[in-house]
Amino acid sequence: MMSSHENASAHPSEQPTESKLNSQPLLTLSHLSKSYYVKKSIFGKTHQIKAVREIDLEVFKGETLGLIGESGSGKTTLSHLILGLTQHDSGTIKFNGIDPKYLRRDVQIVFQYTFGALDPLKSVYELISEPLKLHHIQFEGTLEDEVSRLLSLVGLSSGLMYRKTIEISGGQKQRIGIARAIASRPKFLILDEPVSALDISVQGQIVNLLIKLKKDLGLTYLFITHDLKIARHLSDRLAVMYQGSLIEIASTESILSNPQMAYTKKLLGNLFSEDTNDM
């Protein structure tokens, strides 16, 4: 597997991205592995699924790293390992030198907010207050003021504050999910298919919101998607997962113009031929 540095030297004409020039890795994964053991039937043998295999990965401060790969390649498992939601079998995870499971404020995740992902009986105010209370976040003014500030950051009116999520649209729910993730003032966001459940028109709005928030709040993104058009629109670098392994990582431009692995070529071909809507 190529590291970003080996890759940079393999393509001397390629300009290093700003993030690589200016910073140390914020997140470093070394030899990270995780298997699941499942029984196919009650009498069957236990079957090992190597969901994440010996992954080495660095994410640099200020970059967006797009993580692509087909369904089942291990992207979500990798994100859960980083967050400490799932325990890894071997390897290490360092965020600024520390295991991020001790830094829950700093590393947050935005999921796909499909129906039911946010408690439909809670108000928007309650949903956004939860992470503020959980992480004991200090802010100026009242809790209501802070919820209102977060709503405006994600482009929602404070008039929504006492509505229940059952009463609002998919795009609004996704914005509330994002408001919850940024409430603790994190440095790093993992976005796991954050727009996959939304209509195309709404996808573009959420993608633009994420680009703006990254800039305004100085965030670093690990952006997981199977949608290559979104990945290439957002990402400084792309990492490709295949059956639990990270098989290729390079600048977005060089992955698209000069993929090294046969699997990447095939994946790019499939993803581009799926539909022709441009972001």
Residue 150 vs 238, nearer CB to ligand ADP: 238
CB of 79 to ligand ADP, least distance (A): 8
Residue 112 vs residues 33, 189, 203: alpha-carbon distances, Å: 25, 14, 11
174 counts as binding Mg ion under rule CB under 5 A: no
Burial class (CB within 10 angstroms; exposed 0-12, middle 13-18, buried 19+) of 52 = buried
Sketch the per residue contact string, 70 through 89, with Mg ion: x for CB under 5 A, - otherwise: -----xx-------------
d(CA 113, CA 198): 9
Tell me the two tokens of residue 76: 């979500």
Tell me the two tokens of residue 191: 């976005």
254 counts as binding Mg ion under rule CB under 5 A: no
Sole window of 1-9, 31-39, 68-76, 93-101 interacting with Mg ion (rule: CB under 5 A): 68-76
Burial class (CB within 10 angstroms; exposed 0-12, middle 13-18, buried 19+) of 33 = middle
Residue 2 vs 49, nearer CB to ligand ADP: 49
User: What number of residues does the chain have?
Assistant: 279
Partner interacting with residue 49 (select from Mg ion, ligand ADP, none; CB below 5-8 Å by kind):
ligand ADP
Sole window of 43-51, 69-77, 87-95, 103-111 interacting with Mg ion (rule: CB under 5 A): 69-77
Residue 71 vs 142, nearer CB to ligand ADP: 71
The residues binding ligand ADP (CB under 6 A) are: 36, 38, 49, 51, 69, 71-77
Residue 8 vs 59, nearer CB to Mg ion: 59
DSSP 132-146: HHHTT---SS-HHHH
